[in-house]
Amino acid sequence: MANLFRVLLTGSFVALVASGCASGPQYKDVASSIPTLKESQGRIYFYRSNSMFGAALQPGISLNGAVVGQSKPGGFFYVDEPAGKYIVSTATETEKTVSFTLDAGETKYVRTRVGLGLLVGRVIPSLESPDEASKALEGSHYIGTLTTSASK
């Protein structure tokens, strides 16, 4: 009886974690279909590694206060925005932010990662280099974006 309970519990945990991971086409399958930037805009990629640690934590990602997507393990999405100053924020038990200036024609990369918190984990955004981001995006799945623009 104890073994059956353990098997059921383990199976439930695996199903819960797997349901939290990003699904969708891989970056390599959609990269060629990502449109070129408009002259007056910049692009911001958001991504998260496919770690099991904190997989259940999937808060919204806000750009200047507007939710533009979700931090999902193994997922990525992008938004195109006019040049300007931006604040990316995520909130679980506390709000974490990263600020930057986006120039026309520029691409920025924001990684979200799970850190330890007091009661639950924290999802922390950070700017990453294009080289670092390119490596991480290779195994990521496109999770799309909401239609909300931070500049409106």
Angstrom distances, CA of residue 71 to CA of 20, 23, 62, 113, 121: 10, 13, 10, 9, 13
Quick one: CA dihedral 134, 102, 85, 27, positive or negative?
negative
The CA-atom distances, in angstroms, between 135 and each of 48, 49, 76, 110, 129 are 12, 10, 13, 13, 10
d(CA 48, CA 150): 20
pLDDT at position 137 is 94
**Rounded distance between C-alpha atoms, residue 151 and residue 69, angstroms:** 15
> Looking at residue 150, what is its pLDDT?
52
Residue 119 has pLDDT above 80, yes or no: no
What domains can you pick out in the chain, each with its CATH number?
2-142 (2.60.40.2890)
CB atoms within 10 A of CB 120: 14
pTM exceeds cut of 0.85: no
